Amino acid sequence: MLRVDDLEGGVRRLTLDEPARRNALDGETLDALEAALSNRDGVRCWLLRGSAGHFCSGWNLSRLEELTPDAPLPDARIGEVFDALQAADAPTVAFIEGSAFGAGFELACACDFRIAAPSAVFCIPPAKLGIVYAPKGIARVAGVIGQGRARSMFLSARRVGVAEALAMGLADEQGDEARARSFASELALTAPLAVAGMKRIFRGELSGIEELRRRSFHSDDAREGLAALLEKRPPKFTGR
């Protein structure tokens, strides 16, 4: 189950809400997440979290018993939905407390920023489950923490607490949910066109980027940003 609610200032909060399974993912939850991400009206920042003290314990392993030899592997669908999250124009923030295991770990890495509570624990367990993780997922994690650290976590299936997560760049900072909401609100004040364009560059999507950059220099937001700077006031961006 996924709960969607709007906070002040254009922050849309997505809450994984399956506390009995520590917010494990299944096909229905992935469909709900994809549908939520497709409705971008008014969204200036996405905030992802889990309910009842856990972020996401990964894929619901009980569903693996239903998997037939010729059926699509579940991580193919996981990759599609996480790609959509990673491609969101607005910035994305994950607030992580408790478990961020397996696909939950990858979900956190699909976000632009990760704020970890003191209780956060990260783990990629397929080496202890006898499962080869998806290449797309491994690349997504390696894109955040680097090849060497990703190799260590995937091949050892070890658990990482918040202190080590901060040291390896997996978590951007330690904080509670109030801090995550505050940070999301700060991001929601930035210029949407500028953020979307720079996110494209970080993803390596350079086709048409020079045209986009040129349009940005002549946009309403660019004029507003300069006026606000000269007038020493906060800018009010419209995304135009």
State pLDDT tens for residues 140-164. 999 999 999 999 999 999 999 999 9
In a domain, residue 133? The reply is yes
Q: What is the mean pLDDT of the segment spanning 113-133?
A: 96
Note whether 119 and 219 are same-domain residues.
Answer: no
In a domain, residue 239? The reply is no
Note whether 44 and 93 are same-domain residues.
Answer: yes
pLDDT score for 65: 66
Mean pLDDT computed over every residue of the chain: 95
In a domain, residue 14? The reply is yes
In a domain, residue 207? The reply is yes
In a domain, residue 237? The reply is no
Cα 124 to chain centroid distance, Å, stands at: 16
SS3 labels along 59-111: ECHHHHHHCCCCCCCHHHHHHHHHHHHHCCCCCEEEEECCEEECHHHHHHHCC
Cα separation, 194 vs 211, in Å, equals 13
In a domain, residue 118? The reply is yes
Q: Has residue 97 got a pLDDT over 80?
A: yes
Cα separation, 193 vs 240, in Å, equals 7
Note whether 121 and 82 are same-domain residues.
Answer: yes
Domains of the chain: total: 2
Q: Has residue 83 got a pLDDT over 90?
A: yes
Read off the pLDDT of residues 34-64 as tens digits, 9 standing for 90 and up. 999 999 999 999 999 999 999 999 998 776 6
Q: Has residue 94 got a pLDDT over 90?
A: yes
pLDDT score for 61: 77
The structure's pTM equals 0.94
Query: What CATH code is carried by the domain that includes residue 144?
Result: 3.90.226.10
Note whether 71 and 133 are same-domain residues.
Answer: yes
Nearest to residue 120, comparing CAs of 180, 165, 150, 61? 165
In a domain, residue 236? The reply is no
Note whether 217 and 106 are same-domain residues.
Answer: no
Note whether 132 and 214 are same-domain residues.
Answer: no
pLDDT score for 100: 98
Note whether 165 and 212 are same-domain residues.
Answer: no
Note whether 107 and 220 are same-domain residues.
Answer: no
Note whether 107 and 121 are same-domain residues.
Answer: yes
In angstroms, what CA-CA distances link 118 with 123, 138, 141?
Answer: 15, 25, 21
Read off the pLDDT of residues 176-220 as tens digits, 9 standing for 90 and up. 999 999 999 999 999 999 999 999 999 999 999 999 999 999 999
Note whether 115 and 226 are same-domain residues.
Answer: no
In a domain, residue 173? The reply is yes
Cα 179 to chain centroid distance, Å, stands at: 16
pLDDT score for 216: 94
Note whether 225 and 175 are same-domain residues.
Answer: no
Q: What is the mean pLDDT of the segment spanning 83-105?
A: 98
Q: Which structural domain, as residue segments, surrounds residue 223?
A: 191-231
Note whether 114 and 144 are same-domain residues.
Answer: yes
